[in-house]
Amino acid sequence: MSVQLNHIIIHSRDNRESAIFLADILGLDIGTEWGPFLPVDTANGVTLDFATIPAESIVMQHYAFLISEAEFDTAFARIQQAGLTYYADPHGKHPGEINHNDGGRGVYFFDPAGHAMELITRPYGGGTPEQASAALKETSAARQEASDRPTEASASAVEVPDSEGEMSGGAVEASGGAVAVSAGSVEMPGGAAGVPGGVEATSSA
């Protein structure tokens, strides 16, 4: 099959602000402005065309980027240096943490227009059985540690979402590490939209 995604329009309050924001974090180049669009090209040939529209017309969306481990180190450092709030999960239950799904690393954060951005080093379901087992053991250890804490400290305990969750206007089902999403969106802090992926939260190290 020769079908490929060529470009996508990302609505923003200020197309230059949003384009520079993402390009700086991911180390991408900004192209020449064409009409209302300011393009940012990704390695697989997909162009992100940022377009300015009235803020009240922006519908929050979710964008996930697959990057290498080395690129994650650099991008995550930039997120921290910028003082951005980041999460290990799309529901915002684990701020200041990243996840290790499928033996890789992942993190969620928001762009200037409020879109939910996600960085992952492995595609969902892309880890080996050994990596999945290691991630499961790490999460189980975190849950055990949380359960051993006093009740008054429960607010900081690690929570791991169930593999199935309701979505507004749709549903998500996780099976064997793969995720199938029907039409809908998940509420994140601030009302932004995110796409869940059976996130398991671990430490931010």
**pLDDT of amino acid 173:** 38
**pLDDT of amino acid 27:** 98
Q: Provide φ and ψ at 32, rounded to 5°.
A: -80, 130
**pLDDT of amino acid 108:** 98
Q: For the whole model, what pTM was predicted?
A: 0.65
Q: How many CB atoms lie within 10 A of CB 47?
A: 15
Q: In the structure encoding, which two tokens stand for residue 65, read together?
A: 């980027």
Q: Which is nearest to 115 in space by CA: 187, 193, 168?
A: 193
Give the list of residues 6+ apart from residue 70 with CB closer than 8 angstroms, or none. none
H, E, C per residue of 5-19: CCEEEEEECCHHHHH
* C-alpha–C-alpha distance, residues 51 and 35, integer Å: 9
**pLDDT of amino acid 126:** 82
- pLDDT in 10s for each residue of the chain, 205 residues: 899 999 999 999 999 999 999 999 999 999 999 999 999 999 999 999 999 999 999 999 999 999 999 999 999 999 999 999 999 999 999 999 999 999 999 999 999 999 999 999 999 998 665 655 565 566 556 556 656 765 443 333 334 344 433 333 333 333 344 333 333 443 444 444 444 444 444 444 4
